[in-house]
Amino acid sequence: MSAIPMETGLLLAGVLFMLGLISVMIRRNIIFMLISVEIMLNAAGLAFIVAGSHWAQPDGQIMFIFILTMAAAEVSVGLALILQIHHQLKTLNSDAANFMKG
Amino acid sequence: MTLTDFQHLMPLLILTFAVLVSMLVIAVGRNHKIMYVITAVSFLAAFASLFELRDVGRYTIEPLLVMDGFGVFYIGMILLTALLISMLSYAYFEQREERKEEYYLLLLLATIGSCVLVISTHFASLFLGLEILSVSLYALIAYLRTRERSDEAGIKYLILAAFSSAFLLFGMALVYASTGTMEFAGIAAAIAGFTELPLLLLTGFGLMIVGIGFKLSVVPFHMWAPDVYEGAPAPVTAFIATVSKGGVLGVLIRFFMEVDGFRYPTLVLIFTIVAIASMLAGNLLALLQRNVKRILAYSSIAHLGYLLVAFLAGNQMGVEAVTFYLVAYFITTVGAFGVVAMLSDKERDAEQLEDYRALLWRRPWTAAVFTAMLLSLAGIPLTAGFVGKFYILAAGVNTQLWLLVVMLALNSVIGLFYYIRIVAVMFQQPEAETQVEPRGKLRPSIYVASVGTLTILALLLVYIGVYPSGLLQVIQGLLVTAAP
Amino acid sequence: MILVWLIVILMVGGVLAWISGKVNRTLPRWVALGSVLAVFVLTLYIWMNPLAIVIGSNQSMGHTWYMRFDQPWIPQWGISFSLAVDGLSVLMLLLTFFIGLLAVLISWREIQTKVAFFHFNLLWVLAGITGVFLTMDLFLFYFFWEVMLIPMYFLIGIWGHENRRYAAYKFFIFTQASGLLMLLAILGLYFIHGNQTGVYTFSYFELLNTTLAPEAARLLMFGFLAAFLVKLPVVPFHSWLPDAHSEAPTAGSVILAGLLLKTGAYGLLRFVLPLFPMATVEFAPWAMLLGVIGIIYGAILAFSQTDLKRLVAYTSVSHMGFVILGVFSFNEWALQGVVMQMITHGLSTGALFIIAGFLYERLHTRDIRQMGGFWSTAPKMGVIALIFVMASLGLPGLGNFIAEFLTLVGSWQANNWLTAFATIGLVMATIYSLRIMQKIFFEANRMEQPLPDLNAREMLIAIPMVVMILWLGLYPQPILDTARPSIQEQLQAYTEPLIEQAPIARMDRIEMEAIPEKTFGTKKPKEAKPSSYLQIFKSSN
Amino acid sequence: MGELLWLIPALPFAGALLLVLFGNRISRALVSTIGVGSVGISAAVTLVLGIEYLSSRPAFIRQEVWQWFDVAGFSPSIAFHLDALSMVFIFVITFVGFLIHIYSTEYMAEDKDYSRFFACMNLFVGSMLMLVMADNLLLLYLGWEGVGLCSYLLIGFWYKEPANVYAARKAFIITRVGDTAMAIGLFMLFQHFGTLHIQSISTEAAQVWSIGNETALIIALLLLGGAVGKSGQLPLQTWLPDAMAGPTPVSALIHAATMVTAGVYLIARMHVIFALSPVAMMAVAVIGAVTLLIAGFAALTQYDIKRVLAYSTISQVGYMFLALGVGAWSSGVFHFMIHGFFKALLFLCAGAIILALHHEQDMRKMGGLSKKLPVVFYTFLIGAASLAAFPLVSAGFYSKDQILWLQLAGENGNIWLYLAGLLGAFITSIYTFRMVFLTFYGEEKTHVGHKPTMAITVPLIILAVLSFAGGFIELPHNFGHVVLFSDFLAPILPAVSVVPDFDRFEWMLQLLAAVISLGGIFIAYLFYYKKPELIESIHRSEFAMAIHHFWHSGWGFDQLYDALFVRPYVYLSKVNKNDFIDSFYTFLANVTQGLHQLFSQTQTGIMRNYVAGIVVGAIMILTISLLL
């Protein structure tokens, strides 16, 4: 099978990363921000896999699994928090949560 | 994994064990005191186990971890800090109605995370440690669910931390892609191979710096710090300020020492800029701030800047200076937040400057301790902070980082202003002669816990300030192995 | 070991004073009085029977130190807890404790809130200052340099007048900023010396032997100067002083004027001169210029002040100008003058602040526009004030005259024009000094309430100062003899070893001879040897 | 002999000390005993010493009391030096001082600050003696400043009146200006001789420097500055008239007899230096000449009797300077002595009058006192005669004539100086007898209250005798040729070298002087006694009045200095009262606070901005790491 060159893969990952990044910046809804962050994380994971395959090592995939687990944990905590926020602010607009400033 | 590996990881194992135990205990029945005791004991045990490893040369546990003097010292530092914080937390949470027990669980986990960080020699372990730390921090910060500030802080920290760790991971991936290994040593070797660093690698490093910088809350990744500090419960704030940053700084030093990042002007330049920016921004932001917790947050930003100055010295002395300063900084910060925690009541933490008005005449000893802590932060003699700052300046002058050193001097003058301002508020005359507040609404045992902690901290502060050579010996003894 | 006791007694005394406040309100005063008295006596003892020892590389001069104490402190960095006294330090210490005693006494009635804590701070300031005058280790020096600030900050910030917090901040930040620059310079010196010799040490005597590249020397010198010039203070770094002086409680002002400023001058003598001989020579004309500017500027501003304490503060600015003028003329006359100036200014300005304090206690104002004609109601105070006003305008027969005249004689050898301008300062001194007398004690009395004259305690404070200032004016020889060896030591780098000069310490000739001798025919004058450096300097400007 | 030397200044000091310590606790009688007694005893001691000195003529007597200090060879002593010159001064100071003290016991009797007065007076006598007895210039400087202080305290004696205090302050400050010059002179002397010991300097200077040496000139001029300041000569004369604010005995002692002549003493003492620099000598002479004219004209127009005397003092001291300027040292000193007598006398008389007229000092309100106060009248007349150099019978005639004569006869005198002196003499006699006629003749305008008693009259009489007979110890050689005084001074002060065979003109000049003096008296008689309407006519003319005011205000020097120095200084000080340098530091503080405000804008608390922050940081870092 013709191996895809690493650069292409990394480029894809990079594009994914940027997508996530931009959407974090433009989204107001906390949940969407969380999702976009997940996208970024996955982009990182993808990059690892690409790199791993390039060096023909399992490490990349191992890292990806780590990332997945971490992301899962994070999302769970995150959702819990978001519930709390919604419970208190009656909104998911992240800008609303700005009691602390200055 | 051989048996000796386990022996060398004893502290971590103890903590992990403690976590499991406490889970079970909670399952059996909730009891604040028991949890507290378990935590404290486990911290102590872990610390004790370090003495076995006192004179370990450099024991690597392929491929992830290494146990050396540096690691031992940092772990010890982290453990003690965690212990003190847990002691403070006891009194703090005793006054609150939430379920307190899981708190200790998370505390233990976070501590494990930061311990792992300082002994990791591999991206994987770095990542794991960092995430154990962060994830438990999310929960800790938002622990007091009923305060919306707490939640706000939590969500902010969560999103931003995840965001930044995405950077970190992507950076790692790129580095991995360009070097083909994730071990620090390997990377170092690979880099040594290159005549000049490939773009990929540099980008990787850049992204990683973003991730690390966030955790260290240095400019321009500092914005979360004040909000989180303010929102989180006082002990947790202390934890973030000390343990988490300490761990990250430890790994940063290790990594840089390993790959000898100081050879690369780009990296040095970046860190220089970051350091100066942090010093300036931190101090200026704190200048007229009226919320004590935020002041401390900003000042911690500035102090990270100071630390970077020594870090940039990039030699044995620099590392020692960083370590020494870290110790002083830990003591001081924990002490400061301890006072905050002690003065806090059911509804809110004592964070407004007004809460401290005329404190000296209401609670002289607390005020005295707080004053000592602030003076130490300001780097006034007779306190550990002074010696630390002196050490950093020495390191800087030694390697002729004149720009940084002068900036440091300038900034500590600016810093002086707001530290002294708090002191001045405490020393003000009380308008109406407010009689001494009713004490002992807490059970004496608890009261003793926190008061004792503060006393210990104050004594340590002065001791190191007056007779630093003891600590110096320890540091120099253990860190010989750190610099390659 | 006595040296350590000096500091320990003060520190412990301070803590005791604080604690004893729990017992009753006057106990702290007695504790403070006792401990200061103790150290004062100790110092007198040291002064009276000096056991001469020779230290380090100074045998050439046979520069004798009275006493020394050495104890490694932070060996890793070559820092040792090293104290030593020579003539200069002893004089400074005597001044410190004398003023300290007065400070305790004047606070007796003035300070009524937080008495215990006040005396804690007072004693710790004194301890810090003592350390500064004693220490022979640069790290330790900086250490004490900083230690004396905090209590001073509290003295101003807690017991001061209306605008105390601002003044306290200003004082603290100015001195801190300058101090840090000095710290950098110290470190620079430390590493340069270390790299040269491989011996990393902060010991003064070791660092004296450092050879510096001109460029480095210049930078390091400016580091040190920063601290000392701000502390002195020299225009344009003086602006902390008027505020601090005028807002501090009387004891605070007295200590500030009498002692803290002197630490600056002491630093110049002890460190800047011997450490950077070449650099200072280059810088000398500018330094002297600064001094002259200070003299004149301070005098002009003093004239128009209406707040008595602020006025006196500006007079100190003017007087300290003489110090820097003298220090940088590098000859024995000038330096002896500087030493005298440090002491006499400590006394005279201290006394003026004390009088300001007395007036404030009675009138609750420092505004001289509301005063006048007090001579008729309080003649004793008038006489005392007159004496010290005259001292501050340099009337012969009072200590300040000796100081200023020697300084000017010395600086004349170094730089004629600047000295001429400095001398004009004497006229200006007359102008502001007489204004003090006129506005407070002469003219018509505007006050309706009567002004009680000095009571016994206040006389007890005033009389010794009068006696001292007169003694210094009429028979300063003991002081000069005490200071001579150390001054010659500081000047070593600027002169060939001086062969000449006067028998050492004639302690026995305190009182005038009973049977005066008479001589016929002119007596040959002693030739004054202008040191080799002087000609160089004259040719250079 | 000489062991007692130190007593002379010590006694008055002791008196002063006692009075300061216990003055307000002891009775007036005791105060006057101490005050007068101390001076009296030191006068007695002077007498004893004087006799011994005259009997055995030593070069000088030196007594070191103790070594003041000793720094690197700069070792002045508290040591006294008695020679002919200081002898003369000590004599005048102690004796005239003694008489004035006696006088004061009555004059000040009513004053509540009796003891303070005598304390200051004693202190003054002490310092003045210190000044003239010092064997080194530093000690001399001590006395010099000491008398300055005392004059300050005594001018401002009645301190309740702001004007007096200002006058005192003015006196002190202006003299201090001179002192400053003198101090610089001392620095230079020390630089060149390594000592301030007067004898050594005199001997060495002669060897080291040749005539017309630059340094000598500068030093001489600086010393002259000091002398000018103390002696109220041009351009520092403005303080002396105002100094009359003090009690009259003070004016008599300090501002007539002794202190104002300190300058004369200094120049005579340092005559070696001056002799080395002809330019300086000329400066002295010219200053003297100009001053005596200016002051003379000013005196013409004064109405306040004390101010007349003040101006006349200035002008008489001007004569002394004139003498010194041409190297007629002893004549200068001689005139000092005589002037000391008659001017003290005149002041004391004036004091008696003022006392009699309830502190009325304006001569226009006086008159016809010759009947009421006969003693005062006759003594005053003698004094006036002496001041106006009334031929043959007045001491003033001989002293002044000698000076004038030497202006022409002296080697380095010249005709202009002589003419100035002559004109001065003319004016002198006019204003002197203007005083006499206005005060003692005409009809009585103010009621005479207090009649003088012994304490006042006796000193007056003694002084009168002295100022009448004092002249006969020094007579010109064309008749009598008595040279006791100049012989006495000869060992110290070299005699002036006279132009050969000029003597034959001497009698002409004397005649001229006599005529001038008498003419002045006649004019005064004409204008102020015979035909007062002449004055009216003068007063009618605009121009004359303008001149009159100009002279009355002392030639507008006060206004000039006020505009030149005082106002600018005060303005400078006031405008910068709160220290513009401070504003720089305030500015720094404000900048920092502004930055704080700026930065804290960034902490919006909105999460997305924080994200943005991180991104910005990332971009920055990447650009750095990629571009560099």
Higher confidence at residue C57 or residue C286?
Answer: C286
- What one-character DSSP code corresponds to residue A4? P
Count how many domains chain D has: 2
Q: Does residue A94 belong to the interface with chain D, where contact is any CB pair within 8 Å?
A: yes
Answer whether D485's CB lies under 8 Å from D330's CB. yes
Mean pLDDT, chain B, whole residue set: 88
Q: In the structure, what pLDDT confidence band is assigned to residue C54 with cuts at 50, 70 and 90? A: low
Rounded to an integer, the average pLDDT of C389-398 is 90
- Give chains near A: 3+ CB pairs under 8 A: B, D
Q: How many residues does chain C have?
A: 541
Nearest chain A residue to D599 by CA distance is A102
CA distance D403 to D381: 23
Cβ(D435)–Cβ(D363) under 8 Å? yes
List pLDDT tens digits, range D276-312.
888 888 899 999 999 989 999 988 888 888 888 999 9
Contacts of C402 in chain D (CB under 8 A): 69
d(CA B338, CA D322): 88
Per-residue confidence (pLDDT) for residue D52, from 0 to 100: 85
pLDDT digits 0-9 by tens, B343-382: 887 777 788 888 888 888 888 888 989 999 999 999 888 8
- What confidence tier does D1 reach under pLDDT thresholds 50, 70, 90? low
Domain containing A79 equals 30-88
Report the half-sphere exposure of D398 (CA within 13 A, side-chain side).
28
What residue in C sits closest to D69 (Cα-Cα)?
Answer: C477
Residue D130 lies in a domain: no
Chains A and C touch (3+ CB pairs under 8 A): no
What are the C-alpha distances in Å from D452 to residues B278, C338, D113, D245, D374? 90, 55, 21, 22, 10
Helix-helix angle C27-48:C87-110, to 10 degrees:
160
Q: Are D455 and D100 in contact (CB under 8 A)?
A: no
| Structure confidence at residue C512 (pLDDT) | 35
**Residue B59 — φ and ψ, nearest 5°?**
-105, 110
Tally of CB atoms within 10 A around C529 = 18
C-alpha distance from residue D259 to each of C39, D144, D314 (Å): 48, 9, 12
Q: Hey, are the CB atoms on B469 and C183 less than 8 Å from each other?
A: no
Residue D582 contacts C, CB cutoff 8 Å: yes
pLDDT at D212: 81
Contact C349, C392 (CB under 8 A): yes
Find where tokens 């000195």 sit. D53
Looking at residues C495-510, what average pLDDT do you find?
40
Q: Work out the minimum CA distance from C15 to partner chain D, whole angstroms.
A: 36
DSSP C56-74: TTGGGGT-EESEEE--EEE
Cβ–Cβ contact D588 with B under 8 A? no
Distance CA(D266)–CA(D320), nearest Å, equals 12
CA angle (A40, A46, A47) in 5-degree steps? 90
Mean pLDDT over C159-164 rounds to 87
pLDDT in tens, D414-446: 888 888 888 998 999 888 988 888 888 877 777
Closest chain D residue to B210, measured at CA: D618
Q: The domain spanning residue A78 has which CATH number?
A: 1.10.287.3510
> Residue D179: which domain range?
65-78+159-554
Report whether D157 contacts D171 (CB < 8 A). Answer: no
Q: pLDDT band at A91, cuts 50/70/90?
A: confident
The predicted pLDDT at position C495 comes to 67
Calpha distance D300→D312 (Å, rounded): 9
Q: Residue B210 is encoded by which pair of tokens?
A: 């973003």
D601 touches chain B (CB under 8 A): no
Query: Would residue D592 count as lying in a domain?
Result: yes
Q: Write out chain B residues lying below 8 Å of C201, CB-based.
A: none
The total of other beta-carbon atoms located within 10 Å of residue D594's CB is 11
The CA distance from C532 to C322, in Å, is 23
Residue D620 within any structural domain of the chain: yes
Position D517 scores a pLDDT of 87
Model pLDDT for residues C212-261, shown as the tens digit of each residue: 888 889 999 999 999 999 998 888 888 899 999 989 999 999 999 889 99
By the 8 A CB rule, do C313 and C428 touch?
A: no
Task: Look at residues B211, B183, B189, B170 and name the one whose alpha carbon lies nearest to residue B122.
Answer: B183
Task: Please write the tens of the pLDDT for every residue from D58-82.
Answer: 878 888 888 888 888 888 888 888 8
**Helices and strands (H, E) in chain C, number of each type:** 23, 7
- Angle (nearest 5°) at CA B63 between B58 and B68: 20
pTM listed for this prediction: 0.89
pLDDT band at D395 (very low <50, low <70, confident <90, very high): confident
More confident residue, C363 or A68: A68
Q: Which residue type does C243 have?
A: D
Residues D513 and D602 grouped into a single domain: no
Q: Has residue A100 been placed in a domain?
A: no
Separation CA B471–CA B483 (nearest Å): 19
Three-state DSSP class for residue C423: helix
Contact D603 A25 (CB under 8 A): no
Whether chains B and C touch (3+ CB pairs under 8 A) is answered by yes
Asked if residue D585 and residue D544 are part of one domain, the reply reads no
Q: Which of A37, A57, A66 sits opposite B127 (nearest CB)?
A: A66
Residue of chain C minimizing CA distance to B403: C184
Identify the residue among B159, B199, B200, B210 best suited for mutation to test binding to D, counting D beta carbons within 10 A and taking the highest: B210
User: With an 8 Å Cβ cutoff, are C442 and D156 in contact?
Assistant: yes
Is residue D407 one of the residues assigned to a domain?
Answer: yes
Q: With an 8 Å Cβ cutoff, are A66 and B124 in contact? A: yes
Distance from CA of C6 to the nearest CA of D (A): 31
CB contact under 8 A, B409 and C184: yes
| Residue A82 falls inside a structural domain | yes
The Cα–Cα gap between C100 and C256 comes to 11
Distance to chain D for A90, nearest Cα, Å = 17
Domain ranges of chain B: 3-433+442-479
- Residue, of D315 and D365, whose pLDDT is higher: D315
Instruction: Name beta bridge partners: D66.
Output: D78
Say what the pLDDT of residue B443 is: 63
A24 in any annotated domain: no
Say whether D618 and B414 touch across the interface (CB within 8 A): no
Query: Cβ–Cβ of C406/D74 closer than 8 Å?
Result: yes
* D611 touching A (Cβ < 8 Å): yes
Contacts of D66 (CB under 8 A, 6+ apart): C475, C509, C512, C513, D77, D78
Query: DSSP secondary structure string, B94-148?
Result: HT--S--HHHHHHHHHHHHHHHHHHHB-BHHHHHHHHHHHHHHHHHHHT-STT-H
Nearest CB neighbour to D615, from listed A25, A94, A102: A25
Within an 8 Å CB–CB cutoff, is residue D628 touching chain B?
yes
Contact in structure between D312 and D387 (CB atoms under 8 Å): yes
Tell whether D126 is covered by a domain.
no
d(CA D197, CA D191) in angstroms, rounded, equals: 13
Give the dihedral sign, CA C284/C286/C287/C291.
Answer: positive
Residues D595 and D544 in one domain: no
Name the minimum distance, in Å, from the CA of D626 to any CA of chain B: 7
ipTM: 0.89
Instruction: Tell whether A19 is covered by a domain.
Output: no
* CA distances from residue A53 to A5, A60, B194, B318, C523 in whole angstroms, order as listed: 10, 7, 22, 39, 107
pLDDT tens figures, C78-114: 899 988 888 889 999 999 999 999 999 998 888 888 8
- Residue A8 falls within a domain, yes or no? no
Distance from CA of D618 to the nearest CA of B (A): 6
pLDDT at C525 over 50: no
Domain count, chain A: 1
Assess whether pLDDT exceeds 90 at residue B57. no
For residue C389, is pLDDT > 70?
Answer: yes
Chains C and D lie in contact, requiring 3 or more CB pairs less than 8 Å apart: yes
Hey, is the C-beta of B156 within 8 angstroms of any chain A C-beta?
yes
D59 with C521: Cβ contact below 8 A: yes
- Rounded distance between C-alpha atoms, residue B86 and residue C146, angstroms: 35
Pair D598, D513 in one domain:
no
Work out the minimum CA distance from D208 to partner chain C, whole angstroms: 14
In the structure encoding, which two tokens stand for residue C222, read together?
Answer: 């400016």
